[in-house]
Structure 1
Amino acid sequence: MTQPLIYAHRGASAYAPENTMAAFKKAIELNADGIEIDVQMSKDGHLIICHDEKVDRTTNGKGYIKDINLKDLKLLDAGFKFSSNFIGEKIPTLIELMELIKDNNMVLNIELKNNVIDYKGIEQKVIDTIKQYNMENRIIISSFNHNSLYKVKDIDSTIKTGVLYSKKLKNPITYAKNIKADAIHPSYKRLNRFVIAKAKKENIEINTFTVNIRDYMKLLIDIKIDGIITDYPDIAQQLK
């Protein structure tokens, strides 16, 4: 089995403001195998990369992304709260990230952030964007909204999907197979040897989040987990 893929969580978010182009460029610089991002939708239907439903925590703005047009989202500063070195960093769109990585081999884990707000048609919009860049074989779509993953498979059964969960999920491998998912994306605290063994037997990938402790990284690499999502992709890569 090959070595685990190392995904930069919201970009290399230990070193740059999360879910910004600076964080994505840093992930490339640190030789991450992939980038994990969160996608919402603006008032005027653009796919926006931001973890929270509101812009309050990460920018100098206030309000829900769903209530703000792209041109106004682009006026916000998404960098200054992280460090004065990143003043002026903007909230990116999915297309901007696609443009950045289209010519390299990075894998993209797109988390659909529709478990709190029901963004109508977000699955189709994301898949259309993926196809626009011919990146179908470099994408895995995850979500805490598991109905959304089922919709993804209905639209295009070839797009890989991953079941996100942080609380206990009964029989996660069987559950993933039932909704036609290709992977589970558990919190690393939810992993145990029984789940890992069954996943390998049933050919279900495990990409686990958010692993920032060196000892856990090393353990997961040694047991050849499929993917590690971390704020520190450089450290994980050094341990491979």
Structure 2
Amino acid sequence: MLFKEDEILTTNIINFAHRGAAGLYPENTMISFARALELGATGIETDVQVTKDGHLILIHDENLHRTAGVAAWVKDLTLEEVKSHEAGSWFHEDYRGEQIPTLEELLELVKSSDTIINLELKNGIVMYPDIEKKVIETVQRYEMSERVIISSFNHYSLVECKKLAPEIRTGILYMEGLYEPWDYAKRIGADALHANKFAVIPELVAAAAEQGVVYHAFTVNEQSEMKALIKAGVAGIITDYPDRLAELL
């Protein structure tokens, strides 16, 4: 499905690959990130947690059971223990041997490109001490502050990030029904609203834009929904299928 010429409002929309190309490859693995870029992603969205020995790893669940087949919590394992388990065969046998990557591995992959990285801090169930400081120091070490957006459902964490590094963008993750969220975003110093796709309508996008706040909608996998959100004026779309969005853009 392609736009007619007069229907295209902008192509300057960030194509965020959700956990990499998670609809096509095992989520939050290096192959998923690399293939997402090949499929046209201009951004990568991933989840950050902290191992027992203080390393930043990219995994959505607080427990390894779903993607690595081990009933153990990230917080209770060292990086070496995490790396001893493969995280690809749950998706398909072709990907057996894929590992849970570190944040450094992802930043190494994209450092020579202009890819935008959206790092979701997973500190709602497990309150990882100093996760904000650890992430920010790593981003700054790679000199990627201008290309990173830190998001979280824990908005206290976003306030802490802004205190530590005002130059790094932050995004408020929320599901639905947040009243005049642009005012809330400005109150806590956030730059973007990372809203569930059902909470994004043109009127809200326009009102937020007037206040200098942009919308990044998640998780959008159908081209009809992508097209509607592009028309609504969002600045970014988070999708499991970056190839589908790239086709529209």
TM range (shorter): over 0.9
* Alignment counterpart, residue 155 of structure 1, candidates 164, 167, 190: 164
Match of 1:114 in 2: 123
Give the distance between the partners of 1:154 and 1:52, measured in 2 at CA: 27
* Alignment counterpart, residue 57 of structure 1, candidates 57, 61, 66: 66
Matching residue's letter, 1:46:
H
Q: Percent identity?
A: 46
Asked whether the 8 Å contact 2:49–2:57 carries over to 1, the reply is yes
* Alignment counterpart, residue 214 of structure 2, candidates 176, 182, 205: 205
Match of 1:27 in 2: 36
Could you say what secondary structure the match of 1:92 adopts?
coil
Cα drift, residue 14 of structure 1: 1.0
Match of 1:140 in 2: 149
String of CA shifts for 1:54-75, please: whole Å, max 9, x gaps.
0111112121100000000001
Could you say what secondary structure the match of 2:65 adopts?
coil
TM-score calculated relative to the size of structure 1: 0.98
Match of 2:240 in 1: 231
Tell me: CA distance 1:196–1:224, structure 2 relative to 1, closer, same or farther (3 Å).
closer
User: For the aligned residues, what is the CA RMSD?
Assistant: 1.0
Give the distance between the partners of 1:18 and 1:140, measured in 2 at CA: 19
TM-score calculated relative to the size of structure 2: 0.94
Give the distance between the partners of 1:181 and 1:173, measured in 2 at CA: 9
List gaps (5 residues or longer) in structure 1. Answer: none
Match of 2:202 in 1: 193
Could you say what secondary structure the match of 1:57 adopts?
helix
List gaps (5 residues or longer) in structure 2. Answer: 1-9
**Pairing 1:105–2:114 present:** yes
Could you say what secondary structure the match of 2:66 adopts?
coil
Match of 1:87 in 2: 96
Match of 1:124 in 2: 133
Match of 2:7 in 1: none
Give the distance between the partners of 2:191 and 2:87, measured in 1 at CA: 33
Give the distance between the partners of 1:224 and 1:39, measured in 2 at CA: 28
Give the distance between the partners of 2:208 and 2:15, measured in 1 at CA: 19
String of CA shifts for 1:40-98, please: whole Å, max 9, x gaps.
00000000100001011111212110000000000111000000100011000000111
Cα drift, residue 2 of structure 1: 5.5
Count of aligned pairs between the two proteins: 240
Tell me: CA distance 1:2–1:238, structure 2 relative to 1, closer, same or farther (3 Å).
closer
Give the distance between the partners of 2:127 and 2:178, measured in 1 at CA: 22
Match of 1:182 in 2: 191
Cα drift, residue 237 of structure 1: 0.9
Q: Which runs of 4+ in 1 moved over 6 A?
A: none
Could you say what secondary structure the match of 2:16 adopts?
strand
